[in-house]
Amino acid sequence: MSSTTAALVLLTAQRHHLEALPDERVVARAWQAQVEAARTAGHLIVHVQWEGAPGTPGETFSRGWVLHPDFRSEASDLLLRATEPDAFSHSGLDAALRERGVRELHLLALPGVQVLAATAATARALGYRVEVLEDRPAPLGTP
């Protein structure tokens, strides 16, 4: 359970999202820094695994569907499976966050992905304070 009211939500940290990038290592290292900073601050870490259609790079239970090897879900983290572009849709995310007292979300995703816009919009509509970290290389809490 988180000790603060904030959560870092990784929206595109599955293997198929990052392995296709020419700068995969740079992105993975920057995101690892975000995760470590959030853990140090006591924030909840949420890993979203999107269910993929058969024959797609993110097909459910395929190699591409799993979290990127640089990320792991720890016992205190929330591992969430989602089916819609909005991580809140039919996933239980809102209830899980409220149960933990989370009121502030830091969303981390690749720039321009549909899941980021949809999830951010729903989070705001549900009353969460939302910060999008897609273009920020520095860890949380650094200037």
User: Whole-angstrom Cα distance, residue 86 to residue 123?
Assistant: 9
CATH class of the region 1-75: alpha beta
Query: Given a cut of 70, is residue 142 above it in pLDDT?
Result: no
What's the confidence (pLDDT) of residue 134? 63
Is the pLDDT score of 42 beyond 50? yes
DSSP letters for 30-59: HHHHHHHHHHHTT-EEEEEEE-B-TTSTTB
Strand partners, 6: 104
Domain map (residue ranges) of the chain: 1-75
